[in-house]
């Protein structure tokens, strides 16, 4: 048996050339379709280069390695793009060889074993990880803009937009794709998928295709079919796990999944699924970003309309499987679509939130963004569902709970898919991408595309549009008087009604308020009232209403959302529904970094909070995390706070790398849940 040559993986030089220097550990991580250099020391005279053969193989079993093994010798010139190959990188030094190994742009990503065969035997040299390569034009994920590559592949932190269309909040997210263990967890996700379990060989071979990998990951980041990473929960009750709003990033979730023996982590909601999928896609080399869509439709029956029901008292009813989410967050990954044609290249929608089954599994995408905008809903994958999220028509019904009779009240085409948002490249600003998804609402082009989509799905478009005629010349709004109402204060509402007719109108308004989860699920009834109203011709009236703090105290979900509705029953027999969602703001916390941040130097951080209530708050907990600032999530218990009392909490971080980092904190107590803040920190070497 030949002595195993000693290999130098040239970690620093290869890491720099392949933009992989941030992955931790001593294993080589490189990107496909780009040569990497190694040197071999033979402990004696180096064999002639022509006598050497290399092997690469991937897969976690010897059977898979046998099936994926490729052998190649040292050539005088680098191979053409379609195959593995090696060239001598520099003249042989005494007892050693420098080799440049090339992989094809079609190589499967994953962990590879590198072997060598000489005239005297075969040796295993070690392992390396091969990723997608957005820097090389031949790769399916090639992205030409360097600023975008830095943002969508290399950035370890970001923000996600949540709340409602009239009150958008910015929440920090620790993406952390280069943190300890994360690459290994991402590779383990692929090896635990249903596709892998069903046919490991076919699965491993298809890992060269970002379409395939993205679709598998959209299934595996939720736990519904495959004991994947995260279990969803929209019940409002999160006992037995962590409230979805308590998470500040993906790193803790992915490590928890691995450390528990791959048991689903409890619990996630849409932005958590999207945050985790961002981490996994970027970690494997697929450019990715998070997209927030406000007034997002969940159309379960593929008819491009969302039906909402109310009872005769004005209560919203959860009897339809369709719903409108105040916001929904999904992902876009960047890659080509040879299956559809080059016009569909670019951003592709992937959604790991388990909403509807696709080919029997809770997965969604990739759906081409261009296909969505152009109404090409017959193309792979899941385009009708995504199209409806941003462009469904909304139909309102009343439902008689005694007789089961449904009465169509109103239909409209413009409210679904508002302020679709993503983080701007290079800053935390909100970039509106609504026009990427659809033509301007109400424009001829937008309606023509809706008609095209309906025809492709064999839908009768007349049905949705005809209901518009039911609007009985009355308009209304139900809004908070304050632009920024806060938890702990009474909610003052203004109910506005306007008679658009030239004759007087009389009506009864039956009003209710419910606490909701952000996806529209009703949790607790908080308040109800009714009004008898007479409006003269063209008259507008405003009515002040109040929901007291006592009525909603501790009955909100962590989303702090209240749905107010008024069912207006006119004496002529017509009805309209006026609806308004109110998001209450938590009190703020301030996060202050005390001093200059330097690598390996402790840095003090101060968090200040003032209790705004006239009563004590207790069970106070501060959590903090940040890639390259804290090795793991930090948890501090704080003493109770009396009415109007302030507190300052201090802790230390110790940066391990230079560059721009993000520190995130999360404060909770018995009266307020998950008050968040984040700060960007520039760490010098």
Report the residue count for the chain.
685
What DSSP state is assigned to residue 641?
B
End-to-end CA distance of the chain: 47
Q: What is the 3-state secondary structure (H, E, C) of 227-283?
A: CCCEEECCCCCCCCCCCHHHCCECHHHHHHHHHCCCCCEEEECHHHHHHHHHHHHHH
Three-class secondary structure of residue 168 per DSSP: strand
- In the predicted model, is pLDDT for residue 464 greater than 50? no
Residue 81: predicted pLDDT: 66
d(CA 274, CA 136): 26
148-149-155-158 Cα dihedral, nearest 10 degrees: 30
The tokens of 673 are what? Answer: 């849940």
Averaged over 155-169, what is the pLDDT?
A: 95
203, 283, 328, 376: the active-site residue:
328
Q: Which of 370, 378, 388, 385 lies closest to 332 in space, CA to CA?
A: 370
Cβ proximity of 287 and 141 under 8 Å = yes
pLDDT digits (tens, 9 = 90+) for 115-159: 999 888 889 999 999 999 999 999 999 999 999 999 999 999 999
Annotated catalytic residue 283: no
Least confident stretch, 38-52, 281-295, 361-375: 38-52
Q: What share of the chain is helix, strand, coil (3-state, %, to 5)?
A: 20, 40, 40
Backbone angles phi, psi at 485, to 5 degrees: -65, 150
Q: Give the span between the Cα atoms of 466 and 477, in whole angstroms.
A: 23
Tokens of 140: 């399916």
The pLDDT assigned to 374 comes to 97
Residue of 24, 2, 287, 235 whose CA lies nearest to 123: 2
C-alpha distances out from residue 487 to 163, 499, 590, Å: 14, 34, 17
Work out the pLDDT band at 472, boundaries 50, 70, 90.
low
In terms of Cα–Cα distance, which of 157, 434, 431 is closest to 295?
434
CA distance 153 to 289: 9
Tell me how far apart the alpha carbons of residues 220 and 200 are, in angstroms, rounded to a whole number. Answer: 16
Tokens for 635, please give them: 């948890």
656-678 average pLDDT score: 95
**Per the structure block, which two tokens stand in for 191?**
């090896």
Q: Are 559 and 584 in contact (CB under 8 A)?
A: no
Convert the pLDDT of each residue in 566-582 to its tens digit.
Answer: 999 888 778 889 999 99
In this prediction, residue 471 has a pLDDT band, given cuts at 50, 70 and 90, of low
The full DSSP string for 211-222 is HHHHHHHHHHSB
Residue 463: the pLDDT is 47
Q: Report yes or no: 605 and 626 within 8 Å, Cβ to Cβ.
A: no
Q: Interior CA angle at 539 toward 537 and 541, to 5°?
A: 150
Residue 241: pLDDT over 90: yes
Question: Rounded CA gap, 533 and 568, in Å?
Answer: 9
Q: Which residue out of 307, 322, 351, 376 is catalytically annotated?
A: 351
Nearest to 609 by CA among 537, 668, 544: 668
In terms of C-beta distances under 8 Å and separation of at least 24 residues, what long-range contacts does 341-349 make, across chains too?
A: 343/370, 344/368, 344/370, 344/371, 344/376, 344/379, 346/370, 347/436, 348/211, 348/214, 349/291, 349/386
pLDDT, residue 138, reads: 94
CB 160 within 8 A of CB 272: no
Q: Which of 186, 191, 226, 270 is catalytic?
A: 270
Active-site annotation holds for 393: no
What's the CA gap between 471 and 228, in Å, rounded?
A: 47
- pTM summary value: 0.94
User: Mean pLDDT over residues 623-630, rounded?
Assistant: 96
Whether 467 shows a pLDDT value over 60: the answer reads no
Q: Which two tokens stand for residue 129?
A: 């990880």
Cβ neighbours for 302, distance < 8 A, ≥ 6 positions apart: 384, 385, 388, 457
Q: Are 393 and 412 in contact (CB under 8 A)?
A: yes
pLDDT band for position 411 (cuts 50, 70, 90): confident
* 191 catalytically annotated: no
Residue 468: predicted pLDDT: 42
Q: Whole-angstrom Cα distance, residue 655 to residue 683?
A: 7
* CA atoms of 478 and 564, how far apart (whole Å): 7
Question: Greater confidence, 597 or 76?
Answer: 597
Average pLDDT, the chain: 93
Distances (CA, A) of 571 to 407, 469, 507, 509: 16, 18, 6, 11
């Amino acid at each position: 048996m030949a002595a195993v040559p000693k290999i130098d993986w040239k970690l620093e030089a290869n890491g720099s050339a392949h933009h992989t220097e941030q992955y931790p550990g001593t294993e080589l991580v490189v990107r496909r379709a780009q040569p990497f250099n190694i040197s071999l020391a033979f402990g004696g005279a180096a064999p002639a280069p022509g006598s050497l053969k290399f092997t690469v193989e991937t897969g976690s079993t010897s059977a898979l390695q046998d099936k994926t093994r490729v052998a190649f010798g040292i050539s005088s010139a680098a191979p053409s793009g379609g195959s593995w190959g090696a060239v001598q990188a520099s003249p042989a030094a005494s007892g050693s060889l420098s080799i440049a190994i090339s992989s094809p742009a079609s190589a499967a990503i994953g962990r590879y074993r590198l072997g060598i065969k000489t005239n005297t035997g075969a040796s295993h040299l070690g392992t390396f990880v091969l990723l997608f390569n957005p820097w090389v034009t031949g790769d399916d994920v090639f992205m030409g803009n360097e600023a975008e590559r830095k943002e969508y592949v290399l950035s370890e932190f970001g923000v996600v937009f949540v709340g409602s269309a009239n009150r958008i909040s910015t929440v920090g997210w620790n993406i952390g794709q280069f943190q300890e263990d994360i690459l290994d967890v991402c590779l383990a996700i692929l090896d635990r998928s249903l596709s892998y379990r069903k046919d490991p060989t076919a699965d491993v071979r298809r890992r060269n295709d970002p379409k395939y990998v993205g679709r598998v990951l959209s299934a595996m980041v939720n736990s519904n079919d495959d004991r994947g990473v995260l279990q969803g929960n929209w019940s409002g009750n999160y006992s037995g796990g962590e409230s979805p709003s308590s998470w500040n990033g993906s790193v803790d979730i992915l490590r928890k999944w691995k450390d528990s023996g791959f048991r689903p982590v409890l619990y996630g909601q849409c932005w958590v699924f999207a945050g985790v999928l961002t981490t996994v896609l970027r970690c494997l080399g697929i450019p990715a970003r998070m997209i927030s869509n406000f007034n997002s439709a969940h159309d379960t029956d593929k008819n491009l309309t969302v039906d909402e029901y109310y009872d005769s008292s004005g209560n919203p009813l959860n009897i339809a499987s369709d719903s409108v989410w105040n916001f929904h967050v999904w992902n876009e990954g960047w890659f080509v679509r040879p299956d559809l044609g080059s016009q569909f290249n670019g951003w592709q929608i992937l959604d790991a939130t388990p909403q509807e089954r696709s080919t029997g599994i809770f997965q969604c995408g990739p759906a081409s963004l261009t296909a969505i905008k152009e109404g090409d809903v017959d193309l792979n994958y899941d385009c009708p569902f995504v199209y409806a999220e941003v462009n469904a028509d909304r139909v309102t019904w009343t439902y008689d709970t005694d007789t089961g009779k449904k009465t169509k009240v109103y239909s409209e085409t413009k409210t679904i898919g508002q302020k679709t948002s993503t983080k701007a490249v290079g800053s935390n600003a909100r970039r509106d991408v609504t026009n990427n998804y659809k033509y301007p609402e109400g424009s001829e082009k937008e309606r023509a595309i809706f008609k095209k989509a309906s025809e492709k799905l064999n839908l009768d478009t007349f049905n949705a549009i005809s209901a518009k005629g039911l609007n009985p010349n009355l308009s209304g709004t139900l809004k908070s008087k304050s632009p920024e109402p806060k938890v702990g204060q009474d909610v003052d509402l203004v109910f506005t009604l306007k008679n658009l007719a030239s004759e007087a109108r009389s009506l009864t308004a039956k009003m209710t308020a419910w606490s909701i989860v952000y996806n529209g699920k009703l949790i607790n009834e908080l308040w109800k009232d009714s009004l008898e109203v007479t409006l003269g011709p063209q008259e507008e009236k405003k009515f002040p209403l109040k929901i007291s703090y006592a009525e909603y105290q501790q009955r909100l979900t962590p989303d702090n959302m209240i749905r107010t509705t008024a069912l207006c029953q006119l004496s002529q027999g017509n009805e309209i529904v006026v609806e308004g969602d109110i998001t209450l703001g938590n009190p703020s916390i301030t996060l202050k970094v005390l001093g200059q941040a330097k690598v390996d130097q402790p840095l003090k951080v101060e968090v200040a909070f003032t209790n705004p209530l006239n009563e004590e708050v207790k069970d106070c907990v501060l959590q903090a995390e940040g890639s390259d600032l804290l090795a793991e999530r930090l948890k501090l218990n704080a003493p109770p706070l009396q009415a109007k009392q302030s507190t300052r909490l201090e802790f230390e971080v110790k940066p391990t790398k230079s560059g721009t980092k993000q520190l995130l904190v999360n404060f909770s107590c018995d009266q307020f849940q998950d008050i968040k803040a984040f700060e960007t920190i520039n760490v010098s070497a």
